[in-house]
Structure 1
């Protein structure tokens, strides 16, 4: 199942993905927020351990389940949809952590296909910030980006690197590259 109207924005943490998703949503595009932050908030509030600094496999499983549900909930849409990370990002996360990738995740990533053009936010130290949910060092954020690149390339997606520019300039670049009105 391939959805050419589903666009992924991926990369390392703290590289501007959420700001881009928010800006696209403000322009009226349907956007799916990153699942990882929501899971972290839910787990912290509930006293759970499915966290990147706790049970990373459980955290990855929850991210995968939500990413799959996000795709399936919108499968009937024909208008463009922008995703802050995709199903494959969970595979990249597990590989980064040196953890096994369940066959079901690989099968889902092969079955539920997004637009072949995936937008990559490259490492950009000037905008990187840590917070209560983003505890990674900049070096680990770069390693995460590299893992996403490898994962999407393995899945035969075409990575389109976004410029290190203002949000407005990045949005214009995304919309132009996607063939969408600005």
Structure 2
């Protein structure tokens, strides 16, 4: 869908902060499925956690990302997603070898321009919901930066600049694409 914009990339690269800035500017945003799942699983002593059962976590993230897409249809204008169904599918394929990506070449499409946050060690932090290290975040970034083009998305790597300037850059890229903001 042309109004569904993915912001993906390196864990700890500033995606959630950028989504907060876009939300402050009045745009519809969708929080990262993974963080919501981890919070739910920790609260309920569940096992669908990336450090306990990554396959279950990824499957749950895929289901939640599909629900997020369905819910976003009712929104007007751009909807910015912190990660996507593709991110969850990449994670599942990585840990199980399952081909969760082939159907995404034609189904459940997003806007063709995807924004990636690059590895940024100066702002990366681990926390209760992000327990993996920076090296694992970089590996994930490389998988995502290879997969999006393979699925016929154009990738724009976001510059390492202030959140306000990043939001301006992203919105400028979309206006250049001929999509009204």
TM-score when scaled to structure 2? Answer: 0.92
Shift of 1:107: 1.9
1:107 aligned onto 2:125: no
Between 1:48-57 and 1:77-86, the stretch displaced more is 77-86
- Separation of aligned partners in 1, 2:54 and 2:154: 28
Match of 1:130 in 2: 126
State the alpha-carbon separation in 1 of the partners of residues 155 and 59 from structure 2: 25
SS in structure 1 at match of 2:8: strand
What is residue 164 of structure 2 aligned with on the other side? 168
Counterpart selection for 1:152 from 148, 152, 175: 148
Query: What SS is found at the alignment partner of 1:120?
Result: strand
Within the candidate set 64, 69, 72, 1:71 is matched to 69
Per the TM alignment, residue 109 of structure 1 is displaced from its structure 2 partner at its CA by 5.7
Does the CA contact (< 8 Å) of 1:96 and 1:144 recur in 2? Answer: no
Deviation digits for residues 90-123 of structure 1 (CA, Å, limit 9, x no counterpart): 12212343x13355x6425631111000000000
The answer as to whether partners of 2:2 and 2:110 remain within 8 angstroms in 1 is yes
Q: 1:86 aligns with which of 84, 87, 94?
A: 84
Per-residue deviation, residues 44-101 of structure 1 (Å, max 9, x unmatched): 111110000111111011100010111112225441110001110012212343x133
After superposing the two structures, state which structure 1 stretch, 39-48 or 74-83, moved more.
74-83
Structure 1 gap ranges (5+): none
Other structure's SS at 1:127 match: coil
**2:56 is the counterpart of 1:58:** yes
Aligned positions, number: 178
Q: Structure 1 residue runs of 4+, over 4 Å off?
A: none
Contact 1:88/1:109 (<8 A) preserved:
no
Distance 1:18 1:119 in 2: 13
Q: Residue 36 of structure 2 corresponds to which residue in structure 1?
A: 38
